[in-house]
């Protein structure tokens, strides 16, 4: 007798045709990606999967025909975030009390 999956057919159909666009570090990041893709009218599903080592991974998935668009959207957002993180770090490094502005008398 063949073993049946415990997943309902509806949940399997919801993911059928979807491919992984990225893996999120945590649920918050997954929800951020989901919101970003939905704002850009890209259908998205979030699933937790087990890798070969038994570790849990959070997959952000889109229909295959949206894969390229989703990559561009996510990479653009990541580049935007990196740019502003760098700008904030540089602001923190600026020291206006440095010796450059002091004159020796």
Hey, what domains does the chain have and what are their CATH numbers? Answer: 15-91 (3.30.70.1530)
Distance separating alpha carbons of residues 23 and 21, to the nearest angstrom: 7
pLDDT score recorded for residue 13: 42
Q: What is the mean pLDDT of residues 24-29?
A: 92
Percent of the chain with pLDDT over 70: 60
Higher pLDDT, residue 54 or 29:
29
Radius of gyration of the chain (CA): 22
**CA end-to-end span of the chain, whole Å?**
94
CB 49 within 8 A of CB 59: yes
Q: pTM for this one?
A: 0.61
Closest CA to 44 of 24, 25, 63, 28: 63
CB 19 within 8 A of CB 61: yes
């Amino acid at each position: 007798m063949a073993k049946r999956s415990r997943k309902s057919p509806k949940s399997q159909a919801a993911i059928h045709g979807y491919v992984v666009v990225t893996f999120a570090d945590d649920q918050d990041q997954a929800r951020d990606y989901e919101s970003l893709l939905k704002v850009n009218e890209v259908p998205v599903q979030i699933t937790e999967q087990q890798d070969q080592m038994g570790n849990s991974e959070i997959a952000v998935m889109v229909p295959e025909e949206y894969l390229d668009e989703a990559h561009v959207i996510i990479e653009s957002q990541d580049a935007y975030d990196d740019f502003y993180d760098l700008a904030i770090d540089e602001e923190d490094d600026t020291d206006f009390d440095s010796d450059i502005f002091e004159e020796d008398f």
